[in-house]
Structure 1
Amino acid sequence: MSVAAIAVLLVLRAVLLARSRGTVLCSIRIGNRAWRSGVARYAGGELHWIPFFGLLLRPRHAIARRGLTVSTRRPLTGEEGPAGYWTVDCGGVSLAMSEDALTGFLAWVESAPPSAHLDAA
C-alpha cells in the first residue's frame, strides 16, 4: 500500500470517528503530557476515548464513572487550545471539550447512582 493510500485511510477513519453518533470531540492529557485529539463516547458507566490518529477503533482510554470526581474546570486559554473549549481535571487525567460537550459530561458524572461515589476519596 502506498503512503498516500494509508494517509487517506487514516483521514477517513478520523472523519468517521468524528461523525459517529454518540461521540464528541475531546482532547485528553494525562499528567503533564501534551494534549492528544480524539473523540469520546459514553458506554454504560465509562467514557471511552479514541484517538483520531491510529489504526484501531478500540478506545485507548476508558474512564470509569464510579468514583470519578471533577476537581477543576476552566476555559482553555488561547495558547492551550481552541477558543470556546473547556478543560476538566479528573485526578491525573484532563479532558478538553466544547462547552456543550462539557455540559453533557457533567450531567453524565452527576447522573451516577448514589453508590457510585462511595469510592471517591
Structure 2
Amino acid sequence: MMNYKEIEEKEKENAGRMFLYVEEEKLVAYELSAFMLKQLFPQLRLFMVTASEECPLKLLKIVLPFELALENTDYPLAVSDYYAEMTSAAIPESVRSALKRDFELYKKKMFE
C-alpha cells in the first residue's frame, strides 16, 4: 500500500527529479514529479486525488504508460527497491528551478 504522507514529504524535498511508483499495476507520479512529467509529455493527464478516507491529503497525480517510461531514451529509468526515477540530467538546473516555482503556483491555484 502506498504511503502518501511519505510521498508528499519526498516531493516537498524534490529539487526537480521525477519519481515514479507502481500502484495497482500502473506507473504513477505525484506532486512535482507529476507536474514535470506533464510539461515533458503534454498528452498525459494531470489530476488531483485524495489519498484515502483516513488520510484526506490532496495530491497531484499522473499515470504514465509503462512503454513511455521504458522506451524513452531522453529520460532513462534508475530503479530502486521502492521507486524508480526518470533521470532528469537533460533538464538544466535553471529549468528545474522554474518548474518547481511554476508547480507551487499551479498547486496554489488548484486549491483556490
Same fold, TM-score > 0.5, yes or no: no
Q: What is the TM-score of this pair, normalised by structure 1?
A: 0.27
Larger-Rg structure: 1
More strand by share: 1
More helix by share: 2
Q: What is the TM-score of this pair, normalised by structure 2?
A: 0.29
Higher relative contact order (CA 8 A, sep 6+): 2
